[in-house]
Amino acid sequence: MEIHGENPFKIKSYSNAAFTLDKLNDPVIDMEPHQLFSIRGIGDAIGQKVIEIIDSKRLSLLDSYIEKTPTGVFEFLKIKGLGPKKIVTIWKELEIESIGELLYACEENRLVKYKGFGAKTQQNIQDALVFYLQHQGRYLFQQVVPLVEKLKIALAEKINGPDLFSISGGYKRQLEIIDHLEIVTTFSEKELTNWLTEKSFQCTKNEKYLSCIGTDKFEIRWYFTDISDFYWTDFTLSGSPEFLEKWESDPLFSK
């Protein structure tokens, strides 16, 4: 509500009501409506919202806020040092809607130009963002580049001869945040799995790929294919869903 600029008195009413209900000894779900409405601070409007939650397990007011809030803005709430007021400034004034954009803004020293963001605050937010991403197994593109370069060298030594490999997916598209790598290869799945396991990767297989997670919690997805499908697999993994949809609908390529 604060992020969307609701009336401060309305926000306080909901906050106080939530605090009051949380402190009750008796479960709200077992109360009759007249009992609920008799609680100090629970008026008709808020009481009806509580009944809606009990009856439908949803709240239409909350759904409406969620619908008009970008996913990335919700994620800001998980970042230490970012309260509603700062989030409003970041979202509405800097027009930033993702963790990656916000981290770049910190690196480019843009936050300090706005009220409430000094140099120290900006640095604290930047540190909190990096900490958050790393504990989510997610990294900025430029943080992943050195890892990929080392991986390429190791793979070139392991995968030689006629076998191929390609770093595909979001890395090839240079997405601002990388939460996993996708690698296409014609190399032996069994031999590669054994090699990765020896290097302390935890590997699990599903119908599409072999998922291997290292000690840094970063995931690498391996797609095994033969030479005839290698380049097509690399192409489809590297294209965004929107691009692939348009590409497949193009008459030039659908024939």
Instruction: Quickly state the pLDDT bin for 184 (edges 50, 70, 90).
Output: very high
What percent of the chain is predicted at pLDDT more than 90?
39
Distances (CA, A) of 74 to 99, 125, 192: 10, 16, 39
Query: What is the pLDDT, as a whole number, of residue 253?
Result: 58
Residue 94, pLDDT > 70, answer yes
The region that residue 109 occupies, defined by phi over 0 for left and psi between -120 and 50 for alpha, beta otherwise, is left
Q: How confident is the model at residue 171 (pLDDT cuts 50, 70, 90)?
A: very high
Using DSSP, state whether 94 is helix, strand or coil: coil
Average pLDDT over residues 29-55: 84
More confident residue, 91 or 43: 91
Quick one: tokens of 82? 């970012």
Q: 182 φ, ψ to 5°? A: -120, 125
Alpha-helical segments (H) within 57-163:
60-67, 71-76, 84-88, 99-107, 119-135, 141-158
Residue 251: its pLDDT value, please? Answer: 66
pLDDT category at 172 given cuts 50, 70, 90 is very high
Burial of 213 from C-beta contacts in 10 A (0-12 / 13-18 / 19+): middle
Whether 3 has a pLDDT exceeding 90, the answer reads no
- What digits encode the pLDDT tens for the residues 5-15? 787 888 888 88
Q: Give the model confidence (pLDDT) of 199-231 as tens digits.
A: 889 999 999 999 999 877 789 999 999 999 999
pLDDT of residue 61 exceeding 80, the answer is yes
Q: 54-58, 116-120, 233-237 — which is least confidently predicted?
A: 54-58
Q: What is residue 89's DSSP assignment?
A: I
Structural domains in the chain, CATH included, are 8-67 (1.10.150.110), 71-135 (1.10.150.20), 140-254 (3.30.460.10)
pLDDT above 90: residue 109: yes
pTM of the model: 0.58
Q: What is the pLDDT of residues 155-170, one digit of tens each?
A: 988 887 788 999 999 9
The pLDDT-based confidence of 255 (bands split at 50, 70, 90) is: very low
Nearest to 168 by CA among 247, 98, 232, 253: 232
**Torsion angle of alpha carbons 119, 125, 128, 130, nearest 10°?**
-80
Q: What pLDDT, on a 0 to 100 scale, did the predictor assign at position 234?
A: 92
Q: How confident is the model at residue 54 (pLDDT cuts 50, 70, 90)?
A: confident
- The rounded distance, in Å, linking the Cα atoms of 81 and 127 is 10
DSSP label of 178? E
Classified as helix, coil or strand, 30 is helix
- Cβ-contact 75, 99 below 8 angstroms: yes
